[in-house]
């Protein structure tokens, strides 16, 4: 299968974006740096996995890009609701797990997919998983995403925000894994505005996240804060292993297991019937794991 010019442009963009984001995150680390692992996929293509562990600010940070192609499995074709055949897929996926419970976990993904049948589409999004109730941070995060989306497609943020709230819900617990963000999928690959949207979202990552890290990374915290962080990281694991499309796509497309599971946090705790203390910051934070109008609220 001959990969399209759109595919090659997306491939070049995610390579640049990976450099930009890794450099931005390393600015918070006095010593630790991202280590790169280049891998090849037997069926076609490969990727560049960059991981930072044991940092002063980030306990585990992964910024991965992949560009794969080849024959689609029957299982993958069924998941994507397309005919079996040849495909190409490329994208960037990142998950950042900070050490401090005052700094949120964050996820972002931008991707492009095409088939030899002529179908193509963009997808992506980003969402924030905080462990301490700082509504100012959450509002600013959403405002940055709103500007990025609406600058390309007017009034699109509202739709993508609602889709994100629905998608990142842990359905068996009837709660969101965080405070949402934006999410979109199956945006026609032949529409230039969709490529522009993906670029705008990718380039909004550091403006949306770095100010929060800078503001909160040196704040003090206690054992209760840390326990709550690990419990909510457990919820993160539940979502990724049960519902996440990216995880399922990676497994069904013969992806690299180490890169797929880099999204999982380094330490989690599962407590039986854990409940927060009445009036605590943790009780307040739990109230935010539901759809909320962060722009006007």
Confidence class of residue 261 from pLDDT cuts 50, 70 and 90?
A: confident
Whether residue 293 lies inside any domain: the answer is no
Task: For residue range 124-133, list pLDDT tens digits in order.
Answer: 999 999 999 9
- Active site includes 107? yes
> Positive or negative CA dihedral for 259, 101, 198, 238?
positive
Confidence class of residue 297 from pLDDT cuts 50, 70 and 90?
A: confident
Whether residue 297 lies inside any domain: the answer is no
Helix (H, G, I), strand (E, B) or coil at 82: coil
Whether residue 229 lies inside any domain: the answer is yes
Structural domains of the chain, count = 1
> What residue ranges in 85-155 does DSSP mark as E strands?
86-98, 105-115, 120-129
Whether residue 296 lies inside any domain: the answer is no
- Domain with 216, as residue range(s), is 5-287
Check which CATH number belongs to the domain holding 97 and give it. 3.40.1500.10
How many Å apart are CA 87 and CA 120, to the nearest integer?
A: 9
- CA distance readout (Å), 152 to 66, 132, 156, 195: 25, 32, 8, 10
What is the DSSP secondary-structure string of 146-169?
Answer: HHHHHHHSTTHHHHHHHHHHHHTE
Whether residue 109 lies inside any domain: the answer is yes
Confidence class of residue 244 from pLDDT cuts 50, 70 and 90?
A: confident
Of 107, 172, 194, 271, the active-site residue reads 107
Whether residue 295 lies inside any domain: the answer is no
Whether residue 153 lies inside any domain: the answer is yes
The DSSP bridge pattern shows strands 86-98 and 58-71 to be antiparallel
Task: For residue range 133-163, list pLDDT tens digits in order.
Answer: 999 999 999 999 999 999 999 999 999 999 9
Q: Go through 63-92 and write b for each residue having 16 or more CB atoms within 10 A of its CB, e for each that does not.
A: bbbbbbbbebeeebbeebebeeebbbbbbb
Task: For residue range 23-81, list pLDDT tens digits in order.
Answer: 999 999 999 999 999 989 888 999 999 999 999 999 999 999 999 999 887 777 777 77
Whether residue 42 lies inside any domain: the answer is yes
Give the pLDDT score at 247. 83
């Amino acid at each position: 299968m001959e990969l399209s010019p759109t595919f090659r442009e997306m491939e070049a963009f995610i390579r640049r974006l990976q450099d930009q984001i890794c450099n931005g995150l390393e600015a918070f680390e006095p010593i630790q740096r991202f280590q790169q692992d280049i891998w090849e996929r037997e069926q076609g293509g490969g990727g560049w996995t960059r991981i930072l562990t044991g940092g002063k600010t980030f306990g585990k940070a992964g910024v991965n890009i992949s560009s794969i192609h080849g024959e689609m499995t029957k299982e993958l074709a069924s998941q994507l609701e397309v005919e079996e055949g040849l495909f190409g897929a490329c994208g960037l996926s990142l998950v950042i797990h900070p050490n401090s419970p005052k700094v949120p976990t964050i996820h972002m993904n931008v991707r492009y997919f095409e088939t030899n049948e002529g179908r193509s589409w963009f997808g992506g999004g980003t969402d924030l998983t905080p462990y301490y109730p700082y509504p100012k941070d959450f509002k600013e995060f959403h405002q940055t995403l709103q500007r990025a989306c609406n600058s390309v497609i007017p009034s699109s943020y509202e739709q993508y925000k609602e889709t994100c709230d629905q998608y990142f819900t842990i359905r068996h617990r009837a709660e969101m894994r965080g405070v949402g963000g934006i999410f979109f999928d199956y945006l026609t690959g032949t529409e230039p505005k969709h490529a522009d949207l993906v670029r705008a979202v990718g380039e909004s990552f550091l403006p949306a996240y770095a100010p929060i890290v800078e503001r909160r990374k040196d704040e003090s915290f206690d054992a209760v804060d840390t326990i709550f962080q690990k419990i909510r990281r457990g919820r993160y694991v539940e979502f990724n292993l049960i519902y996440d499309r990216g995880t399922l796509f990676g497994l069904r497309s013969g992806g690299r297991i180490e890169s797929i599971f880099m999204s999982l946090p380094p330490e989690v705790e599962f407590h039986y019937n854990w409940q927060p203390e009445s009036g605590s910051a943790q009780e307040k934070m739990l109230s935010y794991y539901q759809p909320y109008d962060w722009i006007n609220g």
